[in-house]
Amino acid sequence: MDASADRFAGPAAAARRALVRRLTASGELRDPGWRAAFEEVPRHVFVPYYFAGFPGSYERLWCEDPSPARRERWLRGVYADVSLVTRVRDGTLLSSSSQPSVMARMLEELRVRDGCRVLEIGAGTGYNAALLCHRLGDSLVTTVDLDPDIVESARAHLAAVGYRPALIIADGARGCPERAPFDRIISTCSLASVPWAWPEQCRPGGRILAPLATGLIALDVFDDAEHGRMAQGRFLRTPAHFMPLRGGPAPRSGVLPRRAVKNDLFRFLLNLTEGSLDPQEALSLWERERRPERDRYGVTVCGGRQWSWLDDPEGPYAWPVGPPQPPSAVASSRGN
C-alpha cells in the first residue's frame, strides 16, 4: 500500500514500533527477520474493524467511524498486544486476529530458514500470511481456509499491501497436497488431534506447529526405518487459546473438579487426556508428578496412531490422541 494513500500511516508506524519494542523486550521477538516483518507489515490494514467487549455484549470499532475519538481507540486496539475478534455470526465468534506476542512466539518457534516452503492452516485476516510473505517471499507461502468469505477478505487485505501468496479454499485438515511438500506447517486454529495429512506433506526435517489442548505443540518430522513418516515433539510452555479448525472434530475440553478449576496447567492435562483419565485420576497424576509444566508433555504421530505423553514417548504415562487412522487412509496420503 502507498503510504501516502493511508491516512493512518504515520500514527500506525509509531504504534507498530512501540509494539515491536515491547515484543523484543519480552523476548518474543529475537530473529531480526521477524522483527523487520512486524515493524513493516501494517496490522491495521488487515483489521479495518473488530468487535470489542466479548464475552457478552460487544461493540464494533472501525477505521471509518465518524468519531475521531473512536477511530483513535480502534487504532490503539489494533496495535495493542491482544487478540481481536473480526467476524461474528449469530453471536458466534468465527475469526480473529491473534495476539501479536503469541504470533511472534509461534513464528520464532517455526524455525524457518530462507527458502522454506510454508503451509498456513487458517487464513484469518491475512496478517500472519503477510508476515510469512515478508520473511520468505510470496511464492513460498500457501494459506488454506474452509470459508470462502474469509479467504477472499484475506486476499484483498494482502493485495492492498502488495503480498500475493497462494490462497486456497479447502479443508485445512487435508493440508494442500497439490502444493506439497512443505518444510513447515503452522496452524492458527486449535485441533482435537494432528491431521494425518500434515506429516505426510512435510519433508523429513520439517516442522509442524499447532495449537492443541490449550497448548502449542512443536513436532519435528522425520522418516523412521520401521514406521515410515513420523512426527514427534514437545509442547511449548506457553498457553494457547485459538478458535477450532472448521471441518474437523471439536478441540478437547475436560470437566474440571472444583478444587482445580482455576489452574491452567491442570486444565491442560485434562484436555490432553480426555477420554483416557477421569478428573480424579488426572488430579492424582498431576499432583504426584509435581504439577508439570506444558513442556514436559509431548505428542507422537506414527504408523496410523498418535499419542500424548509425559516426559518420555515410550514411558509409563501415555494417552491416545484422536481415533486411529485406517491403514488404507495412511497409505493414500503418502507420496506427496
**Which residues form the catalytic set?**
98
In the chain, where does DSSP find H-type helix?
9-25, 32-40, 43-46, 68-78, 100-110, 127-136, 148-160, 197-200, 264-272, 279-288, 327-332
Cβ atoms 203, 181 nearer than 8 A = yes
For residues 50 and 88, give the distance between their C-alpha atoms in angstroms, rounded to a whole number.
10
Here the cell at position 262 is: 482455576
**CA angle in degrees (0–180, nearest 5) for 95-99-103:** 100
Q: What is d(CA 51, CA 6) in angstroms, rounded to the nearest whole number?
A: 22
Which residues touch 225 (CB under 8 Å, ≥6 apart)?
A: none
Bridge partners, 191 (sequence order): 212
Exposed e or buried b per residue across 76-90, where buried means at least 16 C-beta atoms within 10 angstroms of its C-beta = eebbeeebbbbbbee
